Structure 1
Amino acid sequence: MATLSDQNLILPKGKLGNLVFYTLNGKTVVRSKPSGNHKNKYNPSPLQLIQRQKLTKINTFLKPIKQVLDFGYQLFLTQSKKGMHWAFSELSAKGYNHTLETKIDPSFLKISKGNLLRPEDSQLRLEGGTIQITWKDNSFEGNARANDEVSVLCYNVEEKRYKWFQGLTRRNAIQAQVPFDIELGRGSWHIYLTFAQENAKTRQYLLSDSVYLGRI
């Protein structure tokens, strides 16, 4: 940093090339901008490589279902933070292990988050071309209501395809049937269940935390 005399000089203010001019205690001071250290950009450490891979893999995993996630995290959305960001945080904390060949565990994915009473004692079975889902009727416990909407996500991770059944039935129905075509493609389908309660005034939904039912 250098101090310049103001006598007979017209001195700039702000940035000029690699120099920065500013006033300090009535005097004009000039300093050079710190040089960028690009070492980590082109020669990342092993830990940085792990973090980069984690970011890429989780984002790739979540991107196909981003519209579902925007619905499931709708009460938490901001201009800069969408459903994918919230789901990333949830999955990153417990559902990612860089030492495994299959690094992401889909059972830790939450497709929705909220204070609504979640499904209890939910079970899944496949009968022919239909997915049978059952749960306990907890309609009048806490903030639950009999007419809470039931939604189901079927997600084929390998092919990045999904089926989203929103408002499939109601909480007090205690069961849902999802048509399932086993010829849709290769790989496993992961099944998620969530409840939603619509606010008649705002037209927004209060969501429950989703439940992972298993894969078929």
Structure 2
Amino acid sequence: MGIIQNGPHGTFTGRIGNMVYYVLNGKNVCREIGVNTNPPTVKQLKNRLEVKLVGEFFRDLKAFIDVGFSTEPIKAGDSPYNFAVEYNRNKIIKGSYPDLEIAYDKVLVSRGFLKPVKNLVTEQTAGAIKFSWDTNPQMAWPEATDQVMMLAYFVESKKIIYQPFGNSRLSGSDELQIPESLAGEQMETYVSFVAADRKGVADSTYAGSFIA
């Protein structure tokens, strides 16, 4: 958008179409926005592929991310999805261009100030993944009422099975049911906690890779 400063006969600044107006050495000048015809560098191509991989991965996880990053100090007009992408982007890519891929064990699918799961044990059972963690009968309120968040991401189909509000932290365990339709697929699993009042979340913990 162009802006006329100091009335109708003043200087003109800003962009209209493919023209940019600005003041240079006291004169009102304009220039045309050109098209860069130079071929992209390897660094630029690598950056574009990283953005694509991370963006698509978190788009698949969006329903879970909306809870997992809901307590982060998100800027006005931003979203939990954008925050998750920005936070994870430089931490979860492995390999050399063009053979880049997601390092699933480095991903955070939730982030916050609650205590993360302690001494997590993951066990694959018939039709489910069972998660167990350290607990304490004397655990204080409200920590005892935190609820487990469980997620399984299926690499081939890019589907997710999740439970954002499972058993209490005090219970020490919960199960995530896996449908038969996804049998044989590789799944990457994660566990976290969310406060009962939804005002706090823990950093997620990678729970392992399995074949459904």
Alpha-carbon contact 2:50-2:100 (below 8 Å) kept = no
Partner residue in 2 for 1:90: 87
Structure 2 counterpart of 1:175, from 170, 173, 176: 173
- In structure 2, distance between residues paired with 1:116 and 1:154: 21
Give the structure 2 partner of residue 134 of structure 1: 132
Supply the distance in 1 between the matched residues of 2:21 and 2:89 (Cα, whole angstroms): 40
1:190 aligns with 2:188: yes
Query: 1:3: which partner in 2?
Result: none
Q: State, as a whole percentage, how many aligned pairs show the same letter.
A: 17
1:207 — aligned with what? 201
The reply to whether residue 47 of structure 1 matches residue 43 of structure 2 is yes
Give, in whole Å, the separation in 1 of the partners of 2:53 and 2:169: 34
User: Distance in 2 between the 1:167 and 1:46 partners?
Assistant: 43
Structure whose alpha-carbon radius of gyration is higher: 1
CA gap of 1:143–1:83, structure 2 versus 1, over 3 A, is: farther
**Aligned with 1:38 (options 28, 35, 38):** 35
Structure 1: stretches of 5+ with no match in the other structure = 1-9
Residue in 2 aligned with 1:159?
Answer: 157
| Alpha-carbon offset, residue 138 of structure 1 | 5.4
Q: CA, structure 1 residues 155+19, in 2 after alignment: closer, same or farther (shift >3 Å)?
A: closer
Q: Give 1:20 shift.
A: 4.1
The one-letter amino acid paired with 2:55 is: N
| TM-superposed deviation, 1:90 | 3.3
Residue of structure 2 equivalent to 1:114: 112
| CA shift for structure 1 position 157 | 2.4
One-letter amino acid of the counterpart of residue 99, structure 1:
S
State the AA in 1 paired with 2:181: E
The letter for the 1-side match of 2:50 is K
SS of the counterpart of 1:192? strand
Q: Is the 8 A contact 2:94 2:102 kept in 1?
A: yes
CA drift of 1:166 comes to 2.2
TM-score of the aligned structures, taking structure 2 as reference length:
0.79
Match of 1:6 in 2: none
Partner of 1:7: none
Say whether the 8 Å CA contact 2:12–2:28 is kept in structure 1.
no
What's the C-alpha RMSD, in Å, of the aligned pairs? 3.0
Matches of 1:188 and 1:58 in 2, distance apart? 18
Q: Is the 8 A contact 1:112 1:209 kept in 2?
A: yes
| Deviation, structure 1 residue 91 | 2.5
TM-score (norm 1): 0.78
Could you tell me whether the CA contact under 8 Å between 1:122 and 1:213 is conserved in 2? yes
- Structure 2 spans left out of the alignment, 5+ residues: 1-7
Give, in angstroms, the shift of residue 31 of structure 1. 2.2
